[in-house]
Structures are given as structure tokens and as C-alpha cells.
A and B are shown apart, each in its own frame.
Chain A
Amino acid sequence: MSKWQVQVDREACIGTGMCASSAAAYFRLENGKSTAVQDFVEPDELVTDAAESCPMEAILVRDGDGVVIAPEP
């Protein structure tokens, strides 16, 4: 399976720390805001769950074809 792309909109992020706590392998807080540890990752439900749970919908996950798979609209 091809890798997923993970992007964090740092303008939208308010630093709740939810993604960095629930998916520490994929997100970390830098200067109080989230950033993706790696831009491309092996598919993992932890990443899409983090995107679905972010109150600011600041995390965007795309599949190998560039299609947005989280968060759902």
C-alpha cells in the first residue's frame, strides 16, 4: 500500500495536544503547535483518527493517490 501524506495547518492549530498525545509517533508539538513528525507515513488508523478528532480540523491526510481521506467533510 502506498504511503499517506500528513499535513498540519499550523495557522489553524490551537495546540490542544490531542494528536501529539494519541499519536505521538506521528505528531509533536513545536512552539505550542502541532507538526507532522514525517510528511509521508505508512497507513495507520491512528493518523486518520487524530485528523477526525482535531477540533480545528487542522490535520489533513491524503492517500497515495492524493485523495483526502481524513477528516471527513
Chain B
Amino acid sequence: MTTTYPFSEADRLRLDPTYLRLQRTEPVSWVRMPFGGEGWLATGYQEVRMVLADPRFSRWATVGKDVPRTSPVLENPNILAMDPPEHGRLRKLVAKAFTTRRVEQLRVRAQEVVDAALDDIEAQGPPADLVSTLNMPLPITLICDMLGVPEGERGEFQGWTDVLLGFGVSTAEEIRAALDSLKGYIAGMVAQRRRTPSDDMLGALVEAHDEEDRLSEEELVVFGVTLLVAGHETTANLLGNAIYTLFEQPTLLRSLVEDPDLLRPAVEELARAIPLAAMVALPRVALEDVEIGGVTVRAGETVLVSMAAANRDPSVFDTPEKIDFQRGVNPHIAFGHGVHHCLGAPLARMELQVAIGTLFRRFPTLELAVPVEDVEFKRGRLVRGPLTLPVKW
């Protein structure tokens, strides 16, 4: 009998054991997806990396097609759905701004935002909610600064993002309407830049279109939407999940408070161990027959990959279920692999380092204001994350 995906409704940060059972027995297995029928699911580390890196697996071939998938809507043309060399044409327009070296220059700004958020929390007194005061404002402020979204217009897009990524709760019509709203929002800023040029990232993209013809008008607007959404939703939730995990495992938190040098490896290890996505996404279609993980994926068949499962493959990670800040080599693929490797990874890493490092340095006795099992998580969303994190100190 064909296994039906998802195996269960996402439960906090728990990875359904079916992933790891499949990884042991059939690292590329045939499953029924919620939309578009049946396809392959890769769970082994080597197999997942191969699918992500091998140009015989195409993202572009899924655009507008009713392929096996978890999203209620068909794939839209955007950078996440493009193959080389088209993908590189867009990516290189912004890649420089997201290098580790350039992102380091934003660390001071991130520190300011975190300090201000923690000042507010302190003034307000316990209990305080970290999600609304720290986790959301930090990535939103940084990506909006980079793109050039004016301070007064930063509240509008979060509701649309909620609908856009509500794979389990939004209807296809609602998702399309949310995307249209986001496109209208960015299009307004693009028009503004045609009246008054600016030296932010949206300004640079407008220039790349108007003066150099390096991307189309539609690509320009959709790229802006993608950068805005990807720039805050994943980071805010990864940060929430990371703080939740530290509260859930107090020995980890204590080790971090006692030894601040563990901060960087801790962020990597938390990224490895936390299954950020509630379900697999971003399907790929084989352009020719490919032998992988003991099966033949036929040309035209779809493959989805679980990076969360790959990050727990015991052939790569010793005691993978254990979160270990002393883990030496940590070749996790939480930020993906291959050409689509997360553009914002250096930014996300830096934001998590600043937020987590500062939070527990300033409030070393910080703890949840409710029992850990009472922390509520979002439901029906592509990205897992706590709704609120009430804390006291």
C-alpha cells in the first residue's frame, strides 16, 4: 500500500518517526501527496543532497503543472522555481548583499534592534512574549532595511504572509489573493522608486530592469515579494523554535549561558535538529531517468526531499536525535544544498546569534512563564513555530 503524506499533523518540533523508518529501509520511497497524486520522497542524507544538487531534477518543470505536492496551488514562476542558468541570472543581482562578509556589517544594526526589543521587554516587566517583541521584529526590520520598505509600511504584509504559507489551512483562492496583495504592495514601492531612485535593494532591482534589462517587470515584483517573505517568516520561526528548544532542554540552555563561545555551534546544531518545515515542499521533476537510493526515478516523475530527515541520518551524524553543541563537524543541510542554497543563510545565522546571545546574556535567569507543554504552536502552516513564547525572569 502506498504511504500517504504527510504521515501525521505536525506536532510541535517532533519529526514523525515514519521519516526515519523510511530512511533506513527505502531512502527514496513512493508516497501519495496531498495534491497532484503520487511521487517520490527522499529521506536519506546522500539522496536528498543529490536531488538538490543534480540538474537532472528540475524545479522549473513543476511550474503551472499539477505535480505531486503539498501546496494547494500550482508552482508560480519565481526564483525558488528556476533552474540554472536562469536562476543565476536573478540570484546574482542580490547575492553580493547576502554574503557573510556583507551581512557582518549589519550585525551592529541587528544588535540595536535586539537591544531595543529587550529594553521594551524589561520596561514592560514579566510576563513578556518574545515572539511579538523580539522574534518577528528582528528579521522584519533587517529585511525591510535591506529592501527599502519604509518604516511606516512594515505592518501590512504579515497577514498576507500568514495566508500565503498556510498550506494546511488556506484555500488555493486565498493563497492566490494573498500573493496578489503582496505583489501590489511591492509594485507600489517599485513605482515609487521610478519617481525617486533609491540606493536600497529594490532600487537596485528597478535599475537592473529599467536600465540593464536583466529581469522582467513581473520577475522584479515577484523577486521583491520572495525576498520579503523568505526574509522574515523562516528566521522568526527558527528563532522561536530555537528558544523553545533551549527552554525544553535546560541543560543545553545552561551550557550556553555558562560558555558563550558555544553560541555559533549552538545555532548550527539547533538549525540541524529543528525540523523547521512542517512538511516537505518545493517538488522537483526528473528530466530523465535517474538511479538514486536503489530505485529508478523515471523521467517526468516528481521527487520531494526532507531536509529534516537528512539532518538526522545516522550515517552522517552520530546520535542524530541528540542536540549536542559540542558536535564537531556538522554538515547539516538545514539551509538546503546546491544552487538554491538559502540566499539568506548568513543573515539568518547572524540574526540568531545576536538574538540568542543577547537574550540570555541580559536575562540569564530567563524562563518560560507557562509550563513548556502549554506553549502553543501554529497549525496548518508550512513553517513550524510557537504562536507566543511567554517568559519571565
Residues on A close to B: CB < 8 A? 15-18, 20-22, 24, 32, 46, 49, 52-57, 71-72
Assess whether A52 is in contact with B96, with CB atoms less than 8 Å apart.
yes
Q: Which of B49, B88, B99, B100 contacts A22 (CB 8 A)?
A: B88
Q: Which of B87, B101, B335 contacts A57 (CB 8 A)?
A: B101
A21 to B49, CA, bound (A): 11
A47 to B55, CA, bound (A): 17
Residues on B close to A: CB < 8 A? 49, 52-55, 84-85, 87-88, 91-92, 95-96, 98-101, 331, 335, 337-339, 341, 343, 345-346
Name the B residues within 8 Å of A21 (CB-CB).
52-55, 84, 338-339
Using A22-B84, A22-B87, A71-B96 as known contacts, list a sample of 8 further A-B pairs with CB atoms less than 8 Å apart, ordered by residue number in A. A16-B345, A18-B338, A18-B339, A18-B341, A21-B84, A22-B88, A32-B331, A49-B88
The smallest C-beta distance from B244 to any residue of chain A, in angstroms, reads: 26
Assess whether B49 is in contact with A52, with CB atoms less than 8 Å apart.
no
Known: A17-B341, A18-B339, A57-B99. A52 touches B92 (CB 8 A): yes
Known: A55-B100, A56-B99, A57-B99. A16 touches B92 (CB 8 A): no
Name the A residues within 8 Å of B54 (CB-CB).
21
The smallest C-beta distance from B53 to any residue of chain A, in angstroms, reads: 5
Name the A residues within 8 Å of B346 (CB-CB).
55
A71 to B96, CA, bound (A): 9
Name the B residues within 8 Å of A16 (CB-CB).
335, 337-338, 341, 345
Assess whether B49 is in contact with A17, with CB atoms less than 8 Å apart.
yes
A56 to B101, CA, bound (A): 7
Q: Which of A20, A46, A49 contacts B53 (CB 8 A)?
A: A20
The smallest C-beta distance from A53 to any residue of chain B, in angstroms, reads: 5
Residue of A nearest to B49 (CB): A17
